[in-house]
Structure 1
């Protein structure tokens, strides 16, 4: 980071960054680990989605992830920037938030005081992106650190997350569906439309077939967003661009957003979304 940079935004690797920001020095992406049997990779710039999805399809058991260490987060905070923000995936889904908080304590013990704020996104993927981009906007607008902390927490609470997956098994087997009371058998081709409540996964609706499920997702997203003209529509997908485009068109036909961003998922989001998954945040 250049010496005159006044802030830095640290994100864990479940956050998808738009291509124009991936090399931006105001951002640092801290990778989680990916394990598919003997195949172990860091979710960093070397991640190969096609290879990863092939390994997952071939592996009879469930892929797993490991969160960054507190020391790794501490390293990311050791920077000339005056204000540091860390954005993590939901603490109900990963230990990343706790690691980021512990890394903050370790930094203060070793280096002394610094303005560091860790944000539990209570979401994942594009939900983290929403927060990271909002932080950048608030900093560029010149707000104080204290005001930004206040505003970003309120913004986080306003984010809505929706997703439709072809396969929920990774979430189920890794114990991430504890907030869902019951899910019908996928053999019936019934597709649940999922959402989030304070970071816990919930079921919002269900339909027969993926096309109707994506339509229901779009309907919910358009109906529930407040002041869409002031917000971003972020759609992330796992190897499913056509589905993402379809959802975008359906949502924008009913609600006008200031910006729409579509991104393919990287490692952690690909692991949980599985091939074909679509995630929407507003």
Structure 2
């Protein structure tokens, strides 16, 4: 059975996924001051980070239009869409509108929109799980059921090097940002089941913060031998490899992937940020 997996551009794909014709990406648009940047294959991470650091205003993103999603609904029999958490972006709602409009004219089409309740490599793992089941020849309804169950068991965490974007966006007061900077405090964050962001812990120094995150993986992972451990890094492959090595010393995952953040994930993670999901 033919299938297509559509993801928004907060999904940080592996090189293999980018070459696979089953996957296609619908870009969000990033706004830094007066500059608009389409989060597609032309995205320049280094240039974007420079723009963000120079801007007194926090970067923003705008979601794809329903039409942008509908352009990819033609052709394949089964359509799966994976979006950034609906609590962080309008991308999920836009995809839902696209589905409703498209099914009015094509009522026999199979389309499912997955609110990842995550971001970055959380979306990547959902997309890979869809493909795993589709390649086994499972029926559309069964794949939808199993992928929703898989999503509910995922865990997403991240460590930020720089709190400046949170400060600019008003999510962190100037005083807290200054104190955190002076004391070199790095927050360890996690994604809730509802797709919002909370603080797990904090530490003085990036290595200690990463250590807390690694410890948390060992404590709460279930059936790691059946799971992929995914890491996304923003401009710091060495740090991603450190996290990989420390985790795999303690936990035996089925596989591990490391990817570089594209535009939306770069905006959220900031320079040096590390995102993990399993």
TM-score normalised by the chain length of structure 1: 0.93
Structure 1 gap segments, 5+ residues each: none
CA shift digits 1:67-124 (9 cap, x unpaired): 00111111121x2211100000111110000001111011112333311000010100
Answer whether contact 1:162 1:217 (CA < 8 A) is retained. Answer: yes
Q: Distance in 2 between the 1:76 and 1:204 partners?
A: 38
SS at match of 2:72: helix
How many residues are paired up?
Answer: 273
Cα distance change on mapping 1:21 and 1:176 into 2, 3 Å: farther
| Alignment of 1:226 onto 2:225 | no
Q: Distance in 2 between the 1:53 and 1:227 partners?
A: 37
1:15 is matched with 11
Answer whether contact 2:81 2:114 (CA < 8 A) is retained. Answer: yes
| Alignment of 1:135 onto 2:108 | no
Q: Distance in 2 between the 1:37 and 1:261 partners?
A: 34
Residue in structure 1 matching 2:54, options 43, 48, 58: 58
Answer whether contact 1:162 1:221 (CA < 8 A) is retained. Answer: no
Answer whether contact 2:56 2:168 (CA < 8 A) is retained. Answer: no
| Alignment of 1:267 onto 2:267 | no
Query: Deviation of residue 171 (structure 1)?
Result: 4.2
Cα distance change on mapping 1:146 and 1:183 into 2, 3 Å: farther
Q: Distance in 2 between the 1:162 and 1:233 partners?
A: 12
Residue in structure 2 matching 1:113, options 108, 111, 116: 108
Answer whether contact 2:57 2:168 (CA < 8 A) is retained. Answer: no
2:44 is matched with 48
| Alignment of 1:257 onto 2:253 | yes
SS at match of 1:22: helix
Structure 2 gap segments, 5+ residues each: none
